[in-house]
A and B are shown apart, each in its own frame.
Chain A
C-alpha cells in the first residue's frame, strides 16, 4: 500500500514537471536576472511540491496557478534578500550607461536597459508585466495566477508600465 502511494506521488510529481516545467522556466527566466537563477527558481518550485504534495490542487489550470504563485513568491523572497545590493548595482550601471555614447553596442545596451528596468520592479509587478506584455495573458487570468484581485493586477500593470516607460525615455534622452 505504501509503495502504491509512493509510486502515485512520484507519477504525479513527474506529470507536473513534464506539464509545467517549460512554461515555468520561461516565466522564471523573465523574472530572474540569470539563467542559473531561473533554473534554481524552477527547481525550488518543484521541491515545494515534493515537501507538500497534498497542497497542489488537482486540474491543470489550478496546478499551473499554484505553481506560478509559488514561483513568483520564491522570486519575491530572492528579490527581498538581494534588493539593496541590486539597487546599488543598478544605479551604478544606469550611471555608466548614460555616459556611454551611441556606438555599435548601443542596441545591446538599450536592450539591457529595458531588462534592467524590468528587474528593478517588485517581483509581483514584474510578473504582471511579463505575463501580460510578453506572454499575452489576460488581466483576469493574471489575477487568478497570482492570487490577487483584478484591481491589483491593473494597478501593477499601470505602475509597472509607467516605471518602465520612464526608464526607457531616460535612456533615449541620454542617447539622442
Chain B
C-alpha cells in the first residue's frame, strides 16, 4: 500500500482544480467589504429631549396626585364646615406636609377659594 501522504497528494483537489480566479477573489472581497454595516453617529438629542419631557410630566403628575390625596385626607367632616358660625363666613383650613417636611396651611372660604 502506498503511503497515505502520497495518496492524499494524488487526490488533492487543490492540485487538480484551477481554483477561484483573481476576479472571483475580488468579487468575494467586494461582497465582504460591502456587507460591513455603516457606522453612523447615534443621534441622542431628540431622545434626550423626549426623556426630559416625559420625566417632567411624570414628576408633575405625581406631585398633583399627591397634593390631591393630601387635600382629601385633611378635609374635615362636612358638618363641621357648614356648622353654625353665627352669621360669619365658614372657613376651613387645609394643612399638609410636603415630602421635604414643610407644613402648608391653606385657608379656604365656602366656595373653596384660597383666601
Interface window among A14-22, A58-66, A92-100 = A14-22
Q: Of B8, B31, B37, which is in contact with the most chain A CB atoms at under 10 Å from its CB? A: B8
- Min CB distance, A128 to chain B, in Å? 13
Number of A-B pairs whose CB atoms are under 8 Å?
89
Residues on A with C-beta less than 8 A from B39 are 2, 5-6, 9
Tell me which residues across on chain A come within 8 A of B7, comparing CB atoms. Answer: 114, 164, 168
* Interface contact B38-A6, CB-CB below 8 Å: yes
Is the Cβ of B19 less than 8 Å from the Cβ of A133? no
Residue A156, interface by CB 8 Å: no
Secondary structure call for the A interface: helix
B17, B28, B33: the one contacting A35 at CB < 8 Å is B17
Min Cβ gap A125→B in Å is: 13
**Residue of B11, B19, B33, B41 touching A14 (CB-CB under 8 A):** B33
> Whose C-beta in chain B lies nearest to the C-beta of A16?
B32
Q: How many A residues touch the partner, as a band? A: 35 or more
Contact residues of A between 44 and 63, Cβ < 8 Å to B: 46-47, 50
Knowing A29-B13, A112-B11, A114-B8, the reply to whether A50 touches B19 (Cβ < 8 A) is no
Which A106-143 residues have a C-beta within 8 angstroms of B? 110-112, 114-115, 118, 129-130, 133-134
A10 contacts B by Cβ under 8 Å:
yes
Given A35-B17, A39-B28, answer yes or no on A10-B33 (Cβ-Cβ < 8 Å). yes
Residues of A within 8 A of B24 (CB): 39
How big is chain B's contact interface, by range?
A: 20 to 34
Q: How far is the CA of A35 from the CA of B18 in the complex (A)?
A: 10
Does B10 belong to the interface (CB within 8 Å)? yes
B68 at the interface (CB under 8 A from A): no
A38 vs chain B, min Cβ distance (A): 9
Residues of A within 8 A of B17 (CB): 29, 35
By the criterion CB–CB under 8 Å, are B25 and A22 in contact?
A: yes
Decide yes or no whether B104 CB sits under 8 A from chain A.
no
Q: Is the CB of A14 within 8 A of B8?
A: no
7 more CB-based (< 8 A) A-B contacts, given A2-B40, A39-B20: A13-B33, A21-B28, A29-B14, A46-B28, A50-B35, A50-B37, A111-B11
Q: Which residues of B contact A (CB under 8 A)?
A: 1, 4-5, 7-14, 17, 19-20, 24-25, 28-29, 31-33, 35-41
